[in-house]
C-alpha cells in the first residue's frame, strides 16, 4: 500500500481498526494506470518509536566510539521517540542540515501497528502488526556525538524537516514473513552494506510487548528495528554528500530511493 500524490495522507490519529479502515477503501475491479503518479510516504505515523535490535550494528558503531555494548541492551528493548511531522517519502530530496558535516543514513525495517492494545503479551504481539515498510532514520553524527553524553538521547542529531523517510509502501503482515528478509543499502549504485532481519536480537514482538506496558498502542504507530549491520555510514566512517543517491532495499518490500539535497537548502 502506498499513497499517490494528490491523495490524502493517512492521518493515523483515528481510533478503531486500521485494517478495516484501509480495506473499506480498497479499490476493486479493473485497474488503470495514473499518469504522472508519484508515491508519497505511505502514512503519517501517529507516533514513531525507534529501537536498537541489531547487535552487529552496535558492535561496529560502538567500536568506533570506543565504547562497549551495555549489558542492559541484551535485556531491554529500549527506544527513543521520533517526530512524525519530519516524515518524507520515496524519491523526495533529503534535506542536508547546515549544522552538520556528517550526514548519515540508517537502514531499518519498520512495523506499523494496526490494532489498539495495552499490556500486550509477547506471544500475541505479532497479531497487532498491520504491515511493514522501510525506514531511513537519518542522523547528524557529529551532533549526535555531542548530545549523547548528556544522557537525554538524540535531539538535533535526529530532528529536522525531512529527517525520517518511509516507503515505498506498506506490505501487509499476511503477505510478508519478516523473520528473514535480506536488507541492503547502496549509495550511488555501490553496495555499502547488507544484513538480514533474522539477526535482530530483539524481535518486534519484544518491542510491542515492552512498549505497551501500562500504555495503549494505537493504529498507525511505527516501530523501527534500529539499524541493520552495515546499514549506516558510521560503521565505516563513510558519510553522505550533496547529490548522493541512497537506496535502501528490503526483500519483499522494495527499494526506498532518495537523493541528498544541497547543504543548508
CATH class of 3-23+38-263: alpha beta
Angle at alpha carbon of residue 51, lines to 50 and 53, rounded to 5°: 145
Q: Tens digit of pLDDT for each residue in 112-149? A: 999 999 999 999 999 999 999 999 999 999 999 999 88
Q: Tens digit of pLDDT for each residue in 210-220? A: 999 999 999 99
Least confident of 69-73, 86-90, 150-154, 163-167: 150-154
pLDDT at 15 over 50: no
Phi first, then psi, for residue 59 (nearest 5°) are: -60, -45
pLDDT at 14 over 50: no
Sketch the domain layout of the chain as residue ranges.
Answer: 3-23+38-263
Least confident of 9-13, 41-45, 92-96, 103-107: 9-13
Predicted structure pTM score: 0.89
Q: Tens digit of pLDDT for each residue in 19-45? A: 544 544 555 667 777 888 888 999 999
Q: Look up residue 51 and give its three cell numbers.
A: 529501537
Q: Look up residue 230 and give its three cell numbers.
A: 552495515
Amino acid at each position: 500500500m502506498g499513497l499517490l500524490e494528490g491523495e490524502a495522507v493517512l492521518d493515523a490519529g483515528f481510533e478503531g481498526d486500521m485494517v478495516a479502515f484501509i480495506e473499506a477503501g480498497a479499490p476493486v475491479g479493473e485497474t488503470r494506470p495514473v499518469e504522472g503518479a508519484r508515491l508519497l510516504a505511505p502514512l503519517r505515523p501517529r507516533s514513531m518509536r525507534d529501537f536498537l535490535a541489531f547487535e552487529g550494528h552496535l558492535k561496529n558503531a560502538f567500536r568506533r566510539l570506543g565504547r562497549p555494548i551495555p549489558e542492559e541492551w541484551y535485556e531491554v528493548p529500549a527506544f527513543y521517540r521520533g517526530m512524525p511531522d519530519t516524515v518524507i517519502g520515496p524519491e523526495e530530496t533529503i534535506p542536508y542540515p547546515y549544522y552538520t558535516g556528517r550526514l548519515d543514513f540508517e537502514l531499518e525495517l519498520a512495523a506499523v501497528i494496526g490494532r489498539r492494545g495495552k499490556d500486550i503479551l509477547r506471544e500475541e504481539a505479532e497479531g497487532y502488526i498491520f504491515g511493514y515498510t522501510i525506514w531511513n532514520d537519518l542522523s547528524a553524527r557529529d551532533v549526535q556525538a555531542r548530545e549523547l553524553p548528556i544522557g537525554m538521547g538524540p535531539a538535533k542529531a535526529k530532528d529536522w524537516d525531512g529527517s525520517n523517510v518511509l516507503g515505498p509502501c506498506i506490505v501487509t503482515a499476511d503477505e510478508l514473513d519478516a523473520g528473514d528478509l535480506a536488507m541492503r543499502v547502496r549509495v550511488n549504485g555501490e553496495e555499502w552494506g547488507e544484513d538480514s532481519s533474522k539477526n535482530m536480537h530483539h524481535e518486534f514482538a519484544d518491542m510491542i510487548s515492552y512498549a505497551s506496558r501500562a500504555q495503549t498502542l494505537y493504529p498507525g504507530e511505527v516501530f523501527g528495528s534500529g539499524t541493520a549491520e552495515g546499514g549506516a555510514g558510521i560503521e565505516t566512517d563513510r558519510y553522505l554528500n550533496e547529490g548522493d543517491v541512497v537506496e535502501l532495499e528490503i526483500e519483499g518490500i522494495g527499494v526506498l530511493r532518495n537523493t541528498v539535497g544541497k547543504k543548508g537548502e
